[in-house]
């Protein structure tokens, strides 16, 4: 065989046809249409109903023109004129909203926000078929099950069974090793009410179960027989034992008198249903004929015959040729892809939705095959001050420094106050003070006082402490340590040289003294992400034994509340306020009215 002949025989070796770009009018058919989570194999995700937590969803299409050449449309073209639509299962169409819009129900955006991640992806299993429509009287049921494991896990086993008093019977129990499976079976059940069950087991041994209640009517006019297994699609090696499942059902007000499979028959007395499960051996050559017959008490009967083919042994060349000539999975180079971001601010706890494409010459839908589920958790309101607690951490060891030659050394200490939300919540994404803050510089009436804090302050307060004989002036600087903007290693205190303040210790102008911090005095915050708390810090300068009459001279205390905005990694948010008083070494929280 020449190389040209080989390339003609096997499409694997043919060059890909040119791809038509962004021309929806050229699309004549859809060869693939997928709706999937953008970053996970699972088909179900949990998000918070805060209107900001987004589930990224990808639509992936293989579009062809009239000559079966690929047509690739951009996301802009797919969304243009409402071509790509999304619907809830009840037929309600979902609307695309601007990113700034606070949605109420389930909606989607065409742009990603900071919270475009699900709170959790869930391994799921669901029945696509049977649906709830009434069965034909012959009662052969088409069953389809899809399952998808969250990323990082795989499905190891699928067990399909039906439950009917007094027991449960499995009719499909197979091993797998895949993050997704799609299994279709045609099966015949006995008449009556029962429950279908699909159970998957993942690689950690965890079980996931879904059920479907079903009713099979009794045949009206004649009995029926169905060979569930083997099917004509099955092949077996010569001499191989074949498991069988063949069922017989009497029709209305009648019983079965005899059932037989090939030459193996049994007489029955009063049975309305019978099942045959004896093994049959594949012959040494040729096909196997499986013939079943059931006779009812009114002499009416039903038959079914299947021919089972022997398994063909493939040589190495045929195996390679078959692989080479099989259709290849489409690549992203020719596929049309759109990524949308779904969110909800609704109280509804669960949504199932699907996608639909509507082009001038073709349409398609993922309904019934590739629906996605969004479950919602109640949004967390961090503005509820009643749910917050704070804990005072041990103050640092005082560090002394010379600020004025006429007085004892000043002392520098810091103390952290950790605010916690005890109810379970995601890690914090952002914590920051959105209130007024003092960033440093000159304060006071005469310009003789300035401070250079390491970070913006919510409050800078002074007050007298100590006994009358050894009175102190304490200067307390309050700051909120933002996360994650102040990363690991942020400093709290005074990191620049030259902070200076004035105190008046008596009645005369000669009693006015300047105090100077010539060196850096700060501590380093060592907290690391993920953050499940935030911190308010107090950095204190204590001017020791300056006298009970000492007051700040020509500068006023800066007193602002901290308005602290808290946002977690899934977009839950809220703002709380902390207050500060000159005579308190703790923040005032909850704030006083």
- Per-residue H/E/C for 336-355: EEEEEEEECCCCCCEEEEEE
pLDDT of residue 583: 87
Cβ count within 10 A of residue 483: 24
Domain definitions of the chain by residue range: 24-119+334-357, 234-308, 385-588
Tokens of 518: 């010539």
User: 41-68 burial, b for 16+ CB within 10 Å, e for fewer?
Assistant: bbbbbbbbbbbbbbbbbebbbbbbbeee
**Spans of the chain below 70 pLDDT:** 1-17, 99-103, 131-138, 313-332, 468-469, 484-489, 529
pLDDT at 491: 86
Query: Which residues, including other chains, have CB under 8 Å from residue 129's CB and lie 6 or more apart?
Result: 142, 143, 144, 184
Residue 20 confidence (pLDDT) = 79
Residue among 51, 110, 106 at smallest CA distance from 79: 110
> Considering the entire predicted model, what is its pTM?
0.78
Domain 234-308 has CATH 2.60.40: yes
Angle at 188 between CA 182 and CA 192, to 5 degrees: 115
Residue 308 and residue 242 in contact, taking contact as beta carbons nearer than 8 Å: yes
Which of 4, 67, 57 is closest to 34 using CA atoms?
A: 57
| Short-list 504, 509, 496, CA closest to 473 | 504
The pLDDT of residue 50 is 92
Cβ distance 201 to 174 under 8 Å?
no
CB atoms within 10 A of CB 251: 22
What span, in angstroms and rounded, lies between the C-alpha atoms of 258 and 41?
A: 50
* pLDDT at residue 131 in the model: 65
DSSP-derived secondary structure for 433-471: E-S--B-SEEESSSS-EEE--SS-BSEEEEEEES-STT-
Predicted pLDDT of residue 157 = 97
Q: Which residues does 16 contact at the CB level (< 8 Å), separation at least 6?
A: 70, 333, 334
Q: What phi and psi values does residue 203 have, to the nearest 5 degrees?
A: -70, -5
Task: Give the pLDDT confidence score for residue 327 in this predicted structure.
Answer: 31
Q: What pLDDT is attached to residue 408?
A: 94
């Amino acid at each position: 065989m020449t190389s040209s002949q080989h390339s003609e025989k096997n499409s694997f070796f043919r060059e890909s046809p040119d791809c038509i770009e962004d021309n929806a009018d050229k699309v004549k058919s859809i060869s693939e249409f997928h709706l999937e989570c953008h970053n996970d194999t699972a088909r179900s995700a949990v998000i918070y109903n805060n209107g900001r937590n987004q589930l990224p969803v990808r639509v992936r299409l293989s579009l062809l023109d009239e000559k079966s050449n690929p047509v690739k449309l951009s996301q802009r073209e797919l969304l243009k004129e409402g071509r790509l639509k999304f619907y809830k299962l009840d037929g309600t169409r979902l609307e695309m909203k601007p990113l700034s819009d606070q949605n109420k129900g389930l909606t989607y955006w065409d742009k990603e926000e900071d919270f475009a991640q699900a709170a959790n992806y869930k391994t799921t299993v669901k029945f696509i078929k049977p649906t709830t429509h009434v069965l034909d009287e012959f009662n052969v049921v088409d069953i389809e099950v899809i399952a998808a494991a969250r990323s990082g896990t795989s499905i190891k086993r699928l067990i399909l069974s039906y439950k009917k008093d007094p027991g449960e019977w499995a009719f499909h129990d197979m091993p797998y090793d895949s993050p997704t499976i799609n299994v279709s079976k045609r099966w015949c059940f006995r008449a009556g009410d029962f429950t279908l069950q699909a159970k998957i087991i993942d690689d950690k041994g965890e079980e996931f179960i879904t059920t479907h209640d079903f009713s099979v009517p009794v045949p009206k006019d004649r009995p029926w027989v169905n060979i569930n297994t083997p099917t004509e699609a099955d092949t077996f090696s010569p001499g191989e034992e074949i498991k069988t499942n063949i069922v017989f059902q009497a029709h209305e007000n009648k019983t079965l008198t005899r059932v037989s499979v090939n030459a193996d028959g049994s007489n029955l007395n009063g049975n309305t249903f019978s099942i045959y499960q004896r093994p049959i051996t594949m012959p040494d050559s040729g096909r196997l004929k499986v013939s079943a017959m059931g006779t009812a008490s009114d002499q009416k009967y039903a038959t079914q015959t299947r021919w089972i083919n022997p398994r063909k042994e493939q040589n190495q060349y045929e195996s390679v040729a078959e692989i080479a000539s099989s259709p290849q999975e489409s690549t992203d180079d020719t596929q049309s892809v759109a990524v949308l971001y779904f969110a909800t601010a609704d109280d509804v706890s669960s949504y199932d939705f699907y996608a639909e494409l509507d082009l001038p010459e073709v349409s398609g839908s993922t309904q019934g095959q590739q629906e996605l589920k969004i479950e919602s958790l109640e949004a967390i309101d961090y503005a509820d001050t009643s749910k917050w607690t704070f804990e005072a951490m041990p103050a640092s060891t005082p560090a002394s420094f010379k600020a004025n030659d006429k007085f004892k050394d000043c002392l520098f200490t810091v103390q952290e106050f950790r605010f916690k939300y005890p109810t379970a919540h995601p890690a914090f994404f952002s914590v920051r003070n959105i209130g007024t803050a003092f960033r440093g510089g000159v304060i006071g009436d005469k310009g003789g006082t300035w401070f250079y804090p390491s970070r913006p302050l919510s409050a800078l307060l002074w007050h007298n402490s100590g006994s009358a004989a050894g009175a102190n002036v304490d200067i307390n600087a309050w700051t909120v340590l933002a996360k994650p903007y102040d990363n690991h290693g942020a400093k709290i205190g005074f990191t620049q040289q030259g902070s200076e303040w004035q105190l008046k210790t008596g009645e005369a102008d000669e009693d006015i003294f300047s105090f100077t911090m010539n060196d850096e005095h700060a501590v380093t915050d060592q907290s690391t992400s993920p953050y499940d708390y935030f911190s308010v810090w107090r950095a204190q300068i204590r001017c020791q034994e300056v006298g009970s009459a000492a007051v700040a001279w020509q500068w006023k205390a800066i007193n602002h509340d901290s308005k602290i905005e808290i946002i977690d990694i899934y977009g839950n948010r809220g703002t709380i306020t902390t207050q500060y008083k000159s005579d308190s070494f703790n923040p005032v929280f909850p704030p006083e009215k």
